[in-house]
Amino acid sequence: MNIYSVRMRAADETGHHLSGMERLVLDDDIAMTIQELYQRAWHNHPHDVHITIEKIDQEITQVPVLRIRSGVPTKSPKSLVRTQARQILLDAHIHPDVIDYAFSLLDRGPAASGGNMRGAVLLTKHSGRRLEPDKDRGVRTVRVDVHPKDREHLQRALVQQGFPHPRTQDAVILATKTLWAGVIAELGWSDDPDYTTGFVATKGTYWRFEGIKDAGVNLGGRIYFVEEDADTAELMKRLQQIPIWVMVSTEFARNEGEHSYE
């Protein structure tokens, strides 16, 4: 049984990143997956779409999916949403000034040259130093997907728990590997102007926050909070080179309803 990484990247006429997605699939599913990723890319009316197919020759590590919770009730004001997200980051021992800096980066676009990044910012948790080698491209979490036998199981479980949007599944899969790789906490939201939900992931839980940004805003991204003495090379190796299957446990499926952060 051969496993392949199928990755899509869409860009505008200036080369700026619009969207990206990855699947780990069997040989027989490659053609269907290419069509799926192409349709996802076309939603943003790109100028260029690049699809890469790469055989996975390494053994794939299995990692349990993060728990998922709602951080605040639906339709809460943005100020409350951000206060609750901030509190979770404080509980993860991220310095308050660094949290403020992280929000400001995503609000204005985290790329050093302005606008959105293809990858994530690596930010030290106390001093707020940016560690990513390329501050316009960032650091990507790749070679990860939910295990094929668990894909429908995960989709059903998320719907039952009140999280039906496909973006939630994509984000929790990526966040699962990101925390496994050694990131302390992650803050993120989409640059899609029509999608205002963001998240904080830390301590084995993915906290989902509706209304973390205003509608119509096309800026966003992801912040990876790391230790002050983080081994950047080793962390990037784990994020980008080691393939991961995200596994769905019976316990995950038994979690019912939405839970507010207290």
Tens-digit pLDDT profile for residues 181-209: 999 999 999 988 899 999 999 999 999 99
Residue 115's nearest CA partner among 17, 11, 198, 8 is 17
pLDDT of residue 234: 97
Residue 142 CB neighbours (<10 A):
21
Residue 174's nearest CA partner among 21, 34, 43 is 21
Distance CA 56, CA 94 (A): 35
The predicted-structure confidence for 138-186, as pLDDT tens digits, reads as follows 999 999 999 988 988 899 889 988 888 888 999 999 999 999 999 999 9
- For 35, the 3-state DSSP assignment is helix
Strands 3-11 and 48-56: antiparallel
**Residue numbers in the chain where pLDDT is lower than 70:** 253-262
pLDDT of residue 197: 94
| Tokens of residue 167, six digits | 């973006």
The pTM score is 0.91
